[in-house]
């Protein structure tokens, strides 16, 4: 069965960078001699620990591992239409 993923641009970039780490084109830790640019954490703006966690999730789940866990879920503060209709909104004088 084919599963369709809706990735944001940020998530697609994360998947691309993590794939490059797995392919050996990028490192998670910067080399001691060259600390500047090109390393996964610096590209994504994440810590080394976060990159390792995302890499592990991508290894287990594939591209879906970069999708934020709360994506598509309703907030606990969400109100039903029935409750929202009962609330009187204060009118602002213009």
Question: Would you say residue 64 has pLDDT above 80?
Answer: yes
| CB-CB contact of 67 with 8 (8 Å) | no
Domain residue ranges in the chain? 9-86
Q: What radius of gyration do the chain's Cα atoms show?
A: 21
53-77: average pLDDT: 86
How much is the pLDDT for 93?
52
Looking at the chain, the whole-number percentage of residues with pLDDT higher than 70 is 82
Give the confidence band of 8 by pLDDT, cuts at 50, 70, 90. Answer: confident
Q: What is the pLDDT of residues 33-54, one digit of tens each?
A: 454 445 888 888 888 888 899 9
User: pLDDT higher for 78 or 21?
Assistant: 21
């Amino acid at each position: 069965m084919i599963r369709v993923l809706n990735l944001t641009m940020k998530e697609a970039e994360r998947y691309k960078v993590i794939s490059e780490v797995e392919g050996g084109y990028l490192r998670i830790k910067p080399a001691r001699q060259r600390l500047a640019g090109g390393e996964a954490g610096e590209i994504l703006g994440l810590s080394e620990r976060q990159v390792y966690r995302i890499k592990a999730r991508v290894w287990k789940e594939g591209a879906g591992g970069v999708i934020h866990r709360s994506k598509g879920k309703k907030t606990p503060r969400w109100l039903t239409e029935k409750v929202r209709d009962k609330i009187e909104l204060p009118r602002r004088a213009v």
